[in-house]
Amino acid sequence: MCGIVGYLGPRDAAPILLAGLTRLEYRGYDSAGVAVQTESGLTLRKLAGRIGGLKIALGRDPVTGSCGIAHTRWATHGAPNERNAHPHVDCTGQIAVVHNGIIENADVLRTRLECCGHHFVTETDTETLAHLIEDADGPTLESRVIAALTHVEGTYGLAVIAAGEPDKIVVARRGSPVLLGVGEQEYFVASDASAVLEHTRSVVYLDDGDIAVLTRTGYHVIDREARVQTRPVNALDWDLEQIALGEYSHFMLKEICEQPRTLQETLRGRLLFADGTARLNGLNLTPEDCRTLGRIVIVACGTSWHAGLAGRHIIEALAGVPVQVEYASEFRYRQPVGMPGALTIAISQSGETADTLEALRAARAAGSKVIGVVNVVGSTIAREADGGIYLHAGPEIGVASTKAFTSQITALLLLGLYLARHRGLSLGDGRKMVEQLARLPDLAAEALQIEGEIKALAQSYVEERNALYLGRGINFPVALEGALKLKEISYIHAEGYPAAEMKHGPIALIDQDMPVIFLAPKDAVYPKVISNMQEVKARGGRIIAITSKGNGDLRGLVDHQLSVPPSPSLLSPVLTVIPLQLFAYHIAAMRGYDVDRPRNLAKSVTVE
C-alpha cells in the first residue's frame, strides 16, 4: 500500500525524500506529500496525482531543511485528492504524521476529539493520529506518540515530526512494515528497503510494537513501556541496478525478461546433483518432520495463490502429501481444523501482505508449524515464519507480479523434491528431477524468444473486451494467472477456468467476440484439452493455443499457436506462463496504459 520515507542528517531532506518516494511509487500513487522542518517550523507540500507533480511543485517553490517525512498514498479513507494526501497535521500545524495502515476506530476517535475542540480538515483516518498526539501528555515527542497509540485500534507504520523537537523523527509499527536505514551520521525511515538503497545498505527492521526514535546523534528502539529493544542491523543484498529500468520501457517487461536469471538465482546452490535432492537450509524441518507430515496448507493471495495451486500439484505428485490451498483472506477468519501436525506454507512476494500474514498467525495459533516462501528478505512473513525458502528473485517493482510467480513455482518444485526424497522418491528419480530443474533457466530463455510473435499477436487483440483462459491440471493455475495479468494491467475482463468446466456454464459466452486462450502443453491431459478446443471451435470462438514445441501443428483448429519448449509436466507452468505475461504486457502497453502502476492497485497489500 502507501509508501513512507523519512530523512534526518546533514543533507537537504526534500530531494532525498522525493527520490525515496519515486522508488516507492509502485506501492501507491494517487497523491503524495512531504513535511520538512524548516527555519520557520514545519512546511508541507502535498499534491494529488503522481510524484512527478510534487517534484515540479517543489522545484518551483523549494523547502529547505535537513529533517523531513514523506508519503505516497493508496487511498483507503477519503478520496485521492490534495487535502487527503499525507502528511497530516494537528490543529496547530506543529505535528506532522505519515501513516500506512488503517486506524479502525478512527470514527470514534474523531468524534471524541471533535467534542474536545479539535478541528479536522480531511476525511482520512490518519488525521486522528496527529490530533491524538497533540492531545497527549508527555515530556517528549516519543512519549506523546506512545500515549496517543494507546487509543488506537488497527494497523500502522508511521513517522512523526514536530516543530517543537526539530531534530527528531519518531517511528512506530504495528502491522505495517517500517524499517530504518542507518547511514554515515544520517538516518532514514522507509516502508520498503528500495527507498534507502541508494544511501545505505544497513537497515533495521522494526517489529510490531516497536517505537524508534531518530535524532542527529543516533537512533534507539523502545517498546510501549519505553524499555529499550535491541534490533539487529541487517545488510541489504539488493543492488541499485536491480531497481533501475535500464533499457526497458517498463519494469514489468524487464522483470519478464529477467526470468532466466531470476530462476537461476532461485536455484543457485540448491541443486544437489549427486544426492538427487534440494538443499533448503532455511526450511527448519527435520527429516522426521518431512516423513511424518500429514497435510500441507498453503495460504496466499493473488498471483501467489495461483503459485500455491500449482504447488499443490507439485507436492502431491512428488511427495504424496495432501495439500490444501486457501485464500489467506478467507482462511484467517475460519476455524481451521486438524492443524496440529500440518505444515502451513505462506507464499508471498512482498512478505507483507496483511491477509497472508494473519493467515500465517492463525495457522500457528491453531497448532501448525509455518514456513514462508517469500521474496523480500527481512519482510514480516519471512521473520515470523519458523523457516522458509527465499526466492532471491530480486526486487519486483511492476505491480503485476511476473518473475516472482515463476520463482515461487520453482521454490515449490525444490520443496516438493526435498520432501519427496524423505518420503520414498528414489535416488535415480531425484537425480532426474535435479537435472530437469537445472535446465529450467535455459528453457525460460527459449520461451522468451517468441516475444516478437506475441507482440504481433497482441496487436490483433488489443481492442478486445473479454477473454477466457482455459487450462487443465497443473496448467489451470496458469490460466488463472494469465487472466489476472490481462485484467489487472489492460482492464480487459478476463476469466480463468478449468478447461472442462467450460461446458458447465461459460460455454454460453463463446462466440466470435470471445478470444479463448488455451494452455495446451504436451502432458497427460493434452488430448482432453484438444477436445475442449474443438468445443470452442464448433461455437465460433477464436483460439490462441499455448503448446509445447513438438506438439504438432494445430492450424485448422486454432487461430494462433504459440509454442514453448517441451518440459516435464510439473515444470511446465514456469514456461507456459511466459507467453501470457508477454501477451498481457503488450496489449496494455499498446493501449497506452501505465503498465507498472495499474489503476486502483498497489504492489503490496498491507491492509485487509
CA 439 vs. chain centroid, Å, equals 27
Determine whether 78 is exposed, middle or buried from the number of CB atoms within 10 Å of its CB (0-12, 13-18, 19+). middle
Contact 280, 287 (CB under 8 A): no
* Between 193 and 484, CB nearer to ligand M6R: 484
SS3 of residue 59 by DSSP: helix
* Between 136 and 300, CB nearer to ligand M6R: 300
* Angstrom distance (rounded) from CA 248 to CA 251: 7
Strand partners, 555: 558
Least spacing, CB of residue 268 vs ligand M6R, in Å: 21
* Angstrom distance (rounded) from CA 515 to CA 518: 10
The helix (H) or strand (E) run that includes residue 67 is strand 67-73
* Between 84 and 410, CB nearer to ligand M6R: 410
Catalytic residue flag (residue 2): yes
Of 141-149, 202-210, 318-326, 598-606, the segment contacting ligand M6R by CB under 6 A is 598-606
* Between 203 and 399, CB nearer to ligand M6R: 399
Least spacing, CB of residue 356 vs ligand M6R, in Å: 5
* Residue 490 binds to ligand M6R (criterion: CB under 6 A): no
Those residues with Cβ within 8 angstroms of residue 495's Cβ, 6 or more apart along the chain or in another chain: 467, 468, 469, 483, 506
Q: Which residue number places its CB atom closest to ligand M6R?
A: 302
* Residue 303 binds to ligand M6R (criterion: CB under 6 A): yes
* Residue 400 binds to ligand M6R (criterion: CB under 6 A): yes
Least spacing, CB of residue 350 vs ligand M6R, in Å: 3
Pairing of the two strands 88-89 and 67-73: unpaired
* Angstrom distance (rounded) from CA 116 to CA 314: 60
All 3 cell numbers of residue 22?
A: 519515486
Amino acid at 223: D
The closest of 172, 177, 79, 605 to 377, measured between CA atoms, is: 177
Least spacing, CB of residue 404 vs ligand M6R, in Å: 6
Of 32-40, 236-244, 395-403, 460-468, the segment contacting ligand M6R by CB under 6 A is 395-403
Catalytic residue flag (residue 67): no
**Catalytic residue (choose from 2, 67, 257, 301):** 2
Handedness of CA 315, 316, 321, 323 (dihedral sign): positive
Of 108-116, 177-185, 342-350, 422-430, the segment contacting ligand M6R by CB under 6 A is 342-350
Binding-site member from 35, 162, 339, 399 for ligand M6R (CB under 6 A): 399
Binding-site member from 66, 124, 344, 604 for ligand M6R (CB under 6 A): 604
**Catalytic residue (choose from 55, 168, 487, 603):** 603
Least spacing, CB of residue 417 vs ligand M6R, in Å: 23
Binding-site member from 304, 490, 547, 548 for ligand M6R (CB under 6 A): 304
Binding-site member from 353, 406, 490, 569 for ligand M6R (CB under 6 A): 353
* Between 38 and 348, CB nearer to ligand M6R: 348
The closest of 115, 147, 119, 146 to 131, measured between CA atoms, is: 119
All 3 cell numbers of residue 166?
A: 526539530
Determine whether 537 is exposed, middle or buried from the number of CB atoms within 10 Å of its CB (0-12, 13-18, 19+). middle
Q: Quote the strand ranges of 2-40, DSSP E.
A: 3-8, 31-38
All 3 cell numbers of residue 472?
A: 487443465
* Between 37 and 606, CB nearer to ligand M6R: 606
Least spacing, CB of residue 303 vs ligand M6R, in Å: 3
* Residue 372 binds to ligand M6R (criterion: CB under 6 A): no
Matching residue, cell 471533535:
114
* Residue 349 binds to ligand M6R (criterion: CB under 6 A): yes
Least spacing, CB of residue 359 vs ligand M6R, in Å: 11
Least spacing, CB of residue 254 vs ligand M6R, in Å: 15
The closest of 148, 123, 143, 154 to 31, measured between CA atoms, is: 123
Of 19-27, 265-273, 296-304, 521-529, the segment contacting ligand M6R by CB under 6 A is 296-304
* Angstrom distance (rounded) from CA 356 to CA 608: 10
- Prior bond to 87 cis, omega within 30? yes
Of 157-165, 173-181, 280-288, 343-351, the segment contacting ligand M6R by CB under 6 A is 343-351
* Angstrom distance (rounded) from CA 204 to CA 76: 28
* Residue 548 binds to ligand M6R (criterion: CB under 6 A): no
CA angle 479, 549, 486 (to 5 degrees): 25
Binding-site member from 65, 302, 388, 430 for ligand M6R (CB under 6 A): 302
All 3 cell numbers of residue 326?
A: 486457501
Matching residue, cell 491492509:
607
* Residue 194 binds to ligand M6R (criterion: CB under 6 A): no
Least spacing, CB of residue 564 vs ligand M6R, in Å: 20
All 3 cell numbers of residue 354?
A: 496483511
Binding-site member from 176, 200, 344, 348 for ligand M6R (CB under 6 A): 348
Of 111-119, 286-294, 397-405, 580-588, the segment contacting ligand M6R by CB under 6 A is 397-405
Amino acid at 30: D
Binding-site member from 192, 488, 523, 596 for ligand M6R (CB under 6 A): 488
Of 17-25, 119-127, 159-167, 393-401, the segment contacting ligand M6R by CB under 6 A is 393-401
Contact 175, 220 (CB under 8 A): no
Of 93-101, 142-150, 242-250, 295-303, the segment contacting ligand M6R by CB under 6 A is 295-303
Question: Binding string to ligand M6R for residues 157 to 186, with x set by CB under 6 A, is what?
Answer: ------------------------------
Contact 134, 151 (CB under 8 A): no
* Angstrom distance (rounded) from CA 490 to CA 60: 35
* Angstrom distance (rounded) from CA 568 to CA 433: 9
Binding-site member from 128, 356, 380, 551 for ligand M6R (CB under 6 A): 356
Contact 176, 156 (CB under 8 A): yes
Binding site for ligand M6R (CB under 6 A): 301-304, 348-350, 353, 356, 399-401, 484, 488, 601, 604-605
Residues with catalytic roles: 2, 603
